[in-house]
Each structure stands twice: as structure tokens, then as C-alpha cells.
Amino acid sequence: MADHDITAEFEVQELLGEPPPETPTILARVTLGAKTDLGRVRENNEDKFDWLEPEDEATLAARGRLYAVADGMGGHAAGQIASEVALKTLIRTYYAGLSGEIPTALSEGIRAANALVWETGHRITGRSGMGTTITALALYEDRAIVGQVGDSRAYLIRGDSIEQITEDHSWVAEQVRANVLTEEEAELSPYRNVITRSIGAEPEVSPDLFETPLKAGDLFLLCSDGLSGVVKPDEMKEMAHSHSPTMAAWRLIELANERGGPDNITCLILRIDDLIRYDHSGDERVSDEHTAPEKEAGPVRLHASSPTPDISSTGDRTSPAEERPSSGQKNLSPEEKDSQRAKSWFGWKR
């Protein structure tokens, strides 16, 4: 019998996929401002923000820059550690490999953060119930990719408009999206601080992912609910337009404190000053008037999971009941409707 070669020849790189680029094609020139504050009520700050702007061109070309805020929960012994661990793990995992798609890398970073926070909460005495939100923004070439778990928020301020990119993983927000509660009823609900998805509540989590093209002049605002709960989006827009990112973050936090500062407050503002196109024929970088196409002017959802009935820990635990909330009976008062709809949900409340 004649010998036959039953193997096929492949180039190694064909199996591995396209190699990551060595230099960026387009790079955003940005100005960053960020601040976190205790607020007027809490005894410790469980919020955190972090970011990484790589210096080497290969990493910039493969992963871009990453910015994130987190709002920890579980009390002094746990919440502060949860937000710290989550953001460190997110950044480390995101930059661990330089191949693959940006949304995938961001999702993997958030999932890794969730796994470590969940494991820490179950293995270490005194850390039970620890958790955190994560809202992360990756700037890559001429795109922004946002990953979301919890009720911290990312906003896009473009021209005279402000748009909330993310969707809150909270009980009242889900009721509003289902047309069960109005926005006004949600603001008054005693269950407005109950969140339905968080980092560390379960062994696995599925983050929402959004993408939007960049335009010079765009402003991205990431914040915890300590800001969004007391400051209106239009006020954020006005402050961001009137001041530098650093001063805008400070003044927004001052405004939140003037209104009682009921929670820890974190605000991170990123301004897209320009988009720079690399000239690959030499080392010189030249300015480019690259702007996002009008048909892609707003954020686009890449992935979002259906809400889970598991409520995440943010304060005093409520007790489970026998039935799911009713979605009818519009003639009830907001308090009565909230009581009926929330009586079967359990978990932590801020």
C-alpha cells in the first residue's frame, strides 16, 4: 500500500488568526477628569474608578485604552474590596492577550472580575455578600465599546444632546422598560436601589455590551448612582460643556453633595479632543478630520442578556415571597404597586 499524506499544510498564522497590528490606525487624543467622594451619609467610600492608557504602540493598536467605574456593595468589610478587586482584575485580564475582538476581550475581563469577586466572597470569612457594579469604556481606534453590569451608568454627550448608553440592571428600571412603572413612579419607589445583576452575586455573569463610533468633541461620562440618583442628565451635560473634564467632575460631585450626598459619588469624564490618523509611511502623525458616519451616530447594542430574577446585594436583605410581582392594577398608588411587584423578589437593597 502506498503511503499517503493525510495532513494538510497550514501556515501557523492562518491557524492563529490575523496578528495584532503593531501601530494604531487611528488614535483619539483625549482629556480625562475623574473624582470620587464619600458623600454626606456613608462612613466609607466603596466606589472606585481606574483606567489604563498603554504607552507602547503595539498594545494601543491591539487593545486601546480602558476606563471604568465600580460601586461596591456589602458593607465596609466587603464593598470597598469588591470594587478594588473587580477593576484590577478587569484591567489585567483585558490586556492579558493582544489578539481577538475588543468586545470579546472586554466581556472576558468583566467575567473574570465577577469570578474572582464571587470566589472571594465565598472563601473568606467576613466577605460574604460582597459585590460591585462595573461600567467600563474601551477606546479603540475610532470606536468606543462599553461593558455594563449593575446600575452605574455611561453617558454620551454629543453636541446639544446627552444619551444614556447603558441600561440599569435594577428592578425599577426593568419595570419602566416593561411599561409597568413610569419614570416618576420609579424615582419615588422604595425599591429603586434594588439591582438585578451585579459582579459577585453569582459564579457567572453576562455583561451588556454597547458600541458607538467616535467624533471629535464627544464627551463620555461614567458615574455611580450616587451622582445619577440626584443630578439630572441635562445638568451633567451643561456642566461637562461649561468646564474642563476635571472641573466638571468636581463640580458635579459638589452638586450631588449639595443635594444631600446620600451615597458615595464617582464621576469620570473623558473628552475626545481629536482623532489622529497614523501616517504609516513614516514616524510622523498627522491630524485627521475623521468623524463618525451619520448613520452610526449613536450607541448600538452588541449584546444584552435577559434580566435575571436574582437580586444583588447592596444593603439590608429583604425576604422572599410566594409569587412574582403583579404587572397590572394601575389604579394603585406607587407605594402599593411597588409592594405588590417587589414582594417576591429577594436580595440586597442599597
Copy the grid coordinates of residue 224. Answer: 455611580
Q: What is the pLDDT of residues 161-181, one digit of tens each?
A: 999 999 999 888 888 888 888
> What's the confidence (pLDDT) of residue 325?
40
Contacts of 217 (CB under 8 A, 6+ apart): 158, 159, 271, 272
Structural contact between residues 68 and 51, judged by C-beta atoms closer than 8 angstroms:
yes
Which of 58-67, 88-97, 173-182, 284-293 has the weakest average pLDDT? 284-293
Contacts of 312 (CB under 8 A, 6+ apart): 73, 131, 150, 195, 196, 197, 198, 200, 201, 347, 348
Instruction: Name the class of domain 24-288.
Output: alpha beta
All structural domains of the chain with their residue ranges: 24-288
- Determine what percent of the chain is predicted with pLDDT higher than 90: 58
Q: What is the pLDDT of residues 233-282, one digit of tens each?
A: 999 999 999 999 999 999 999 999 999 999 999 999 999 999 998 765 54
Q: Please tell me the distance from the alpha carbon of residue 186 to that of residue 176, in angstroms, as a whole number.
A: 7
> What's the confidence (pLDDT) of residue 126?
73
